[in-house]
Amino acid sequence: MAAPETSTAAVPTLYTNNTLRNAFGGVLSFFILLLIGVLAFSIRLFSVIKYESVIHEFDPYFNYRVTQFLTKKGIYEFWNWFDDRTWYPLGRVIGGTVYPGLTLTAGTIWWLLNSLNIPLSVETVCVFTAPIFSAFASWATYLLTKEVKGAGAGLTAAVLLAMVPSYISRSVAGSYDNEAVAIFALIFTFYLYLKTLNTGSLFYATLNSLAYFYMVCSWGGYTFIINLIPMHVLLCIVTGRYSSRLYIAYAPLVVLGTLLAALVPVVGFNAVMTSEHFASFLVFIIIHVVAFVYYIKGILSPKMFKVAVTLVVTVGLAVCCAVIAVLIALVASSPTKGWSGRSLSLLDPTYASKYIPIIASVSEHQPPTWPSYFMDINVLAFLVPAGIIACFLPLSDASSFIVLYIATSVYFSGVMVRLMLVLAPAACITSGIALSEAFDVLTGSIKFQLPGVTSNAEVDAGETSSDTSEAQTDEVKAEKPDDTSKNRPSKKSKKKERELAENPPAKATAKAKAKAEKKRLLALPLEASVISLLLLVVLGAFYVVHSVWAAAEAYSAPSIVLTTRSRDGLHVFDDFREAYAWLSHNTDVNDKVASWWDYGYQTTAMANRTVIVDNNTWNNTHIATVGTAMSSPERAAWEIFHSLDVKYVLVVFGGLIGYPSDDINKFLWMVRIGGGVFPHIKEPDYLRDGQYRIDSQATPTMLNCLMYKLSYYRFVETDGKAYDRVRRTEIGKKYFKLTHFEEVFTTHHWMVRIYKLKPLKNRIRGKAKKSKSKTSSTSSSKRSGTKKKNPWL
């Protein structure tokens, strides 16, 4: 920060040379950025090339359906949309429960293209939204890192982010999910925060609130921003870095940002009511107190100031205690202490598995394993510590923010796999800084050691562009304090040049000289630097190879189409769509389909049929009802489904071809979630000695439950042995009949099986009596549980 401004020697020729080089550097970095954008976009197209242009997985199908609705019906209809095709019979208020950012973004793009008479379908726009926004995200990373450590680090970080596998996994073409635009919004918000912090401009502060608003629109992860920035502000205050720039960066964000956030229907009053946001208000108060104290300090003599402090502290403490007491009472009165389940499971990693199985059942909410770090951020994991060290040399407001960002995101990623995504940009930025600094040092020492380049001027000319621009930003920063009134920040670099020209132009050369002096001392031996440079390049190459592999192989599968390579070529398993297409064409449009909640979004989007539960797991009881039905014997399940007006039951079965994530493997979660609400479902009943098995050792409860029966109905007739390829065993009960369900469709590879509920049988007098006397003995014991068994009767 504090650059020495001592030298006065003016060398105009060198200076013009410098501007030319800057201009050249500007053009070069523009093209590099353009290429980075192309790279970020094209590395995500593997899924389209290898498979097809199709929406992936589960949640994207919901977003796609919402976008279709938006483009068809318009924005006002969208806000008021009550969806009666899901969560039957409750329905869902989509307009008020969805983060609209992604949908509105894609809808706007679609509208724009169509008004230019470019007839792209909504699906195409949705598929390519994520790659486009990852290009934006890498540009935002460049800007953010440039604010921290200069353009060189910015470019390195941008190129790293463009192909970081963790981010690719969420933003391949077709992965039309909130994270696709949210990561861009996150980075861009951070950039604008740092930009405001560095310039102290209200213009950027306003932009920052708008970017924050976009982030709130896009993703629930906005709470990360609204907690991280206050933490950083607090850190700055505590470490004595308070300045008016900090105040400008923070106070407008809280006020405007909260107001804007409250405009988003899904957030609404949560923006001021829930505990996730309290930290920002607390810090808002603190920063005002601090600002006030600084102001008082300025107008009072030191002695008077001391008196004032003691006075204020005593009064203030009393008031604070009162306020905090009220707050604590308010918070404590709510059952979850004002925190949502997901946030709580972030603070206490064991919370979800203890209390909310529905959150714990989602695989992406599990803590990650070590290999997944290597898979998702690869060599960045090793570069991050170096980057953190580089951030401390020297520590600025901006670099301290990066340190805080990486520290918190490492913690969060350790709690949930999904939050690796938040870690990825931080890791890219720190690694970008580390790499750039390392290259800087190494190339610098090589140049220094090479014969013939010893003169000062030439060392200066040989400096990397990153170095000069860094020097330049340093200068601008250094100038700030003495002539802020004159120096209004402009976005044109040209203007900066002019200002520089007005100032004594010698600064740059003087600084360069000083740097060269410093470098001479820091220079490494030639061989060592060449070798380490090579090693760094190899490391980078390894990263690129890994990222391309991850993009091509690991993360490009759309999961609704599976492929295997065998000797006789590529084999495609397109069973999901087969089933959904069958449902959509051959059942009545108002039929209700029951399945485990994973397939809810896909069923509504692809088959256009009403579902009971879907991936928006907002009603635990409803999901538990379906879970209970799946884990009940046939008759009881039929009653539950019948009371829900269900006509078809869909199960996913991988036993024939060995598709591991089928319903039998998810079944224990159904039991757990069902048992959480309806206690007659007990997990131990389905386990033999604590082991989950479906072979001959399985418990009778397991072998008689609906899920088992629907999955394995007539399975034995395929190979005669009923060998389940996923569980690698023969199933326990091979021959059985269904009495209340009938098979109406099974896909080609048996992956999806659809059953229809048989209608009620006409009551025959003699038969009814007989069955009554027969069941009365057995049902008497169950009677106690029946009331709770079916909540819809």
Partner 1 sequence: MEAPIRAREALGFILFSLLFSICRSSSLNHLLISNAERRIDLSSHIVKVFLTLKVENAGSTPTSEVLLSFPPTQADHLATVEALVTKGKRKKTTLVRLDVKPTELPDAPNDAKYFTIYLANPLKSGESTTIEVLYLLTHSQEPFPAEIAQSESQLVYYRDSALILSPYHIKQQTTFIKTPSTKVESFTRVEPSNRAGTEIKYGPYEDHPPYSFSPILIHFENNSPFAVVEELVREVEISHWGNLQVTEQYTLVHAGARHKGVFSRVDYQSRPTLNGASSLRYLLARLPPRVHSVYYRDEIGNISSSHLRTDSRKSELEIEPRYPLFGGWKATFVIGYGLPLQDFLFETSDDRRYLNFTFGCPLLETVVDKLTVKVVLPEGSKDPSAVVPFPVEQHLETKYSYLDVVGRTVVVMEKKNLVPAHNSHFQVYYTFKPIFMLAEPLMLSSAFFLFFVACVAYLHIDLSIRK
Q: Does the protein bind partner 1 through residue 388 (CB under 8 A)?
A: no
Compute the residue count for the chain.
Answer: 793
Stretch that binds partner 1, among 222-230, 307-315, 444-452, 744-752 (CB under 8 A): 744-752
Q: Which is nearer to partner 1, 208 or 747 (CB)?
A: 747
The mark string for 489-528 relative to partner 1 (x by CB under 8 A, - otherwise) is -x-x-xx---------------------------------
The two tokens of residue 668 are 């224990």
Of 379-387, 402-410, 510-518, 714-722, the window that binds partner 1 (rule: CB under 8 A) is: 714-722
Q: 120 or 322: whose CB is closer to partner 1?
A: 120
- Say if CB 129 and CB 370 are below 8 A apart: no
Assess 743 for contact with partner 1 (CB under 8 A). yes
Contact status: 580 vs partner 1 (CB under 8 A): yes
Q: In 348-379, which residue ranges form alpha helices assigned H by DSSP?
A: 351-355, 357-360, 370-377
List all residues 6 or more positions away from 656 whose beta carbon is below 8 Å from its beta carbon. 715, 718, 725, 749, 750, 751
The span from the CA of 405 to the CA of 382, in Å, is 17
Sites for partner 1 among residues 26-85 (CB under 8 A):
52, 54
Q: Give how far the C-alpha of residue 83 lies from the chain's centroid of Cα atoms, to the nearest Å.
A: 26
| Closer Cβ to partner 1, 6 or 485, answer by number | 485
Count of positions on this chain that bind partner 1 (CB under 8 A): 33
The verdict on 745 binding partner 1 (CB under 8 A) reads yes
Which residues, including other chains, have CB under 8 Å from residue 271's CB and lie 6 or more apart?
216, 258, 261, 262, 277
User: Which of 118, 299 has the CB closer to partner 1?
Assistant: 118
Picking from 457, 561, 570, the residue whose alpha carbon sits closest to that of residue 515 is 457
- Per CB under 8 A, 774 contacts partner 1: no
- The only residue of 350, 455, 456, 586 in contact with partner 1, by rule CB under 8 A: 586
Does position 119 bind partner 1 by CB under 8 A? yes
Position 590 contacts partner 1 (CB under 8 A): no
Residue 666 sits at φ, ψ, to 5 deg, of -90, 0
Question: Would you call 396 helix, strand, or coil by DSSP?
Answer: coil
Distance CA 68, CA 121 (A): 10
Q: Give the residue carrying structure tokens 């009064």.
A: 315
The DSSP 8-state label assigned to residue 419 in this structure reads G
Question: 134 and 41 in contact (C-beta within 8 Å)?
Answer: yes
Instruction: Give dist(CA 122, CA 105) in Å, integer.
Output: 12
**Least distance from C-beta 647 to partner 1, angstroms?**
15
Q: Shortest distance, CB of residue 607 to partner 1, whole angstroms?
A: 9
At its nearest, how many Å lie between partner 1 and the CB of residue 593? 16
Tokens 């071809």 appear where? 657
Q: Which is nearer to partner 1, 303 or 486 (CB)?
A: 486
Closest CB 264 distance from partner 1, rounded Å: 30
- What's the angle, vertex CA 505, arms to CA 504 and CA 507, rounded to 5? 90
The answer to whether residue 364 forms part of the interface with partner 1 (CB under 8 A) is no
Place of tokens 């609705």: 69
Q: Which CB, 672 or 740, lies closer to partner 1?
A: 740
The residue range among 116-124, 420-428, 512-520, 674-682 that interacts with partner 1, by the rule CB under 8 A, is: 116-124
Structure tokens at 341: 């389940």
- The window from 14-22, 318-326, 613-621, 710-718 that contacts partner 1 (CB under 8 A) reads 710-718
Q: How far apart are CA 364 and CA 368, in angstroms?
A: 9
Taking the complex as a whole, the smallest distance from the CB of residue 495 to partner 1 amounts, in Å, to 8
Residue 714 beta carbon to partner 1: minimum distance, rounded to whole angstroms: 5
**Contact mark string toward partner 1, 602..631, x via CB under 8 A:** ----x-------------------------
In which order are the strands placed within the sheet that holds 648-652? Answer: 610-611, 592-594, 648-652, 752-757, 741-746
Cβ at position 309, least distance to partner 1 in Å: 41
Task: Please tell me the distance from the alpha carbon of residue 90 to that of residue 80, in angstroms, as a whole number.
Answer: 16
| Binding test (CB under 8 A) with partner 1, winner from 286, 581, 668, 677 | 581
Residue 483 binds to partner 1 (criterion: CB under 8 A):
no
According to CB under 8 A, which one of 3, 309, 533, 561 is a site residue for partner 1? 561
Segment contacting partner 1 by CB under 8 A, of 146-154, 290-298, 434-442, 579-587: 579-587
Whether the Cβ atoms of residue 32 and residue 155 lie closer than 8 Å to each other: yes
Does the footprint of partner 1 cover residue 750 (CB under 8 A)? Answer: yes
Written as one letter, the residue type at 210 is L
Least gap, CB of 57 to partner 1 (angstroms): 13
Chosen residue from 2, 9, 118, 393 binding partner 1 by CB under 8 A: 118
Q: Is 714 in the site for partner 1 (CB under 8 A)?
A: yes
Q: Which is nearer to partner 1, 171 or 746 (CB)?
A: 746
Closest CA to 705 of 630, 651, 649: 630
Task: Decide: 513 and 7 in contact? Cβ < 8 Å.
Answer: yes
Of these, 378, 466, 747, 790, which contacts partner 1 (CB under 8 A)? 747
Angstrom distance (rounded) from CA 438 to CA 227: 32
Question: Site for partner 1 (CB under 8 A): which residue of 577, 680, 693, 734?
Answer: 577
- Type of residue numbered 301: S
Is residue 746 a contact residue for partner 1 (CB under 8 A)? yes
Which residues fall within 8 angstroms of residue 475, CB to CB, at 6 or more apart? 3, 500, 507, 508, 511
| Residue 553 in the binding site for partner 1 (CB under 8 A) | no
The closest of 587, 533, 598, 610 to 754, measured between CA atoms, is 587
Residue 227, CA atoms < 13 Å, CB-side half-sphere: 15
Q: Residue 273 has which token pair?
A: 């009511």
* Least distance (Å) between residue 682 CB and partner 1: 34
Residues at the interface with partner 1 (CB under 8 A): 52, 54, 116-119, 490, 492, 494-495, 560-561, 572, 574, 577-578, 580-582, 585-586, 606, 714, 717-718, 742-748, 750
